[in-house]
Structure 1
Amino acid sequence: MAATAPAFHVQSSSVLRPVILHGLLFVLLMVSATGLSTLFTALFHGFDSLLVSTEQLAMAFTFTLVGIPLAWLLWRSIRKRLARPSAFDSAIWSLQASAAYLATLAASSCAALAFLAGLVSAARDGAWQSTLAVALGWGTVCAWQHRQ
């Protein structure tokens, strides 16, 4: 009975680690896209404190300046593991990459279509900066994920 316990421990830790790493990478990519889109919004509004508050700007800088380097470092460690992948590693990478690509593609394309619809509509309310910023922020992460 004692001989089966260590084998189970080794198997469960070898399965759980990639799930946690890929889940963390997915979350970091989503946080980075959110930060980038808020930074682009602030940039397009000329860093006007009436349109983008200092709290929003601080969160955007935090999400971007922490999320992107951490995602890059995590991607480098995952890439080393994927040099000799097992079947489970390949499956979890495929699921994570597909989920991240689909989420960023959906967000950026919806924002891009909203931006284009705003250009066509008769009512110009000045909201084009925010929709363009969301399209660029999420589109940047989508392009990076597509490159993977």
Structure 2
Amino acid sequence: MNISPKGIDLIKSFEGLQLKAYRDSVGVLTIGYGWTQPVDGKPLRDGMVIDKPTAERLLKTGVVKYEDAVNKLVKVKITQGQFDALVSFAYNLGTRSLSTSTLLQKLNAGDSAGAADEFPKWNKAGGKILPGLVRRREAERTLFLS
């Protein structure tokens, strides 16, 4: 499966667009739509600036890694909404978080309702509950259940 425009919009709405590099809530250098990797082979650095087409390209190419991970990790048939929610989750938290999660275990065991109830538990960064993560997990859960 591939992420839908609805899934991309969800990621964009929570990551926001920042054309100048900044430190996220836990100090990770970030640019564009939550991008933390090198940009066109150049290491991300404080003060780096990109344009909107570059941010769009980074998101579009970067999300493929998370689509691939969800496609490999999920062993049951899922809906487009479930797929989109899982890609957003993995984009934000990383594939390792998804791969080791109770959310994935429950989903692969056929308990999609139980899996949906795991989203809200992933609301912390640096050990603190963040309102933005509470909202994101609820939006992902809603999309997962749609």
* Same fold (TM > 0.5): no
Larger relative CO (CA 8 A, sep 6+): 1 or 2?
1
Q: Could you state the TM-score of these two structures normalised by the residue count of structure 1?
A: 0.30
Q: Could you state the TM-score of these two structures normalised by the residue count of structure 2?
A: 0.31
- From the two aligned structures, give the one with the greater strand fraction: 2
Task: Give 1 or 2 for the bigger CA radius of gyration.
Answer: 1
